[in-house]
């Protein structure tokens, strides 16, 4: 499957923290706070279930579209799932695939 790599989660902290050092210290050693530099991504948003097949199709179509528009793909895709932690009916799910580009 395309999801055979380790899964990670990320969250955006409010700008009021200013620097990484200002953020609350994690109580779990597996949690890391780091600053991400600016990056440029090509993105496609879609609803429904983010199954292996659907994500693979979205990634392939997005890559083709980006290359057609003159962008160079410079990394692996990132899958974003923006759904509440409880069960969300598939038609109300919001997902996105983003691919880093130059």
pLDDT per position as a tens digit, 6-54: 677 788 889 899 889 999 999 999 899 998 889 999 999 999 999 999 9
Comparison of pLDDT for 61 and 1, the residue scoring more: 61
**Residue 55: is its pLDDT beyond 90?**
yes
Question: Are the CB atoms for 62 and 80 separated by under 8 Å?
Answer: no
DSSP-assigned letters across all residues of 46-61: EES---HHHHHHHHHH
Instruction: State how beta strands 94-100 and 78-81 pair.
Output: antiparallel
Looking at residue 62, the DSSP 8-state letter turns out to be H
pTM tops 0.85: no
């Amino acid at each position: 499957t395309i999801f055979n790599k380790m899964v990670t989660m990320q969250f955006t902290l409010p700008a009021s923290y200013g620097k990484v050092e200002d953020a609350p210290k994690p109580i779990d050693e597996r949690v890391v706070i780091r600053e991400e530099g600016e990056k440029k991504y090509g993105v496609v948003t879609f609803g429904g279930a983010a199954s292996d097949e659907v994500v693979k199709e979205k990634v392939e179509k997005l890559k083709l579209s980006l290359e057609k528009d003159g962008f160079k793909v410079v990394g692996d895709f990132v899958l974003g799932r923006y759904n509440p932690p409880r069960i969300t009916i598939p038609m109300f799910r919001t997902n996105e695939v983003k691919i880093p580009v130059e």
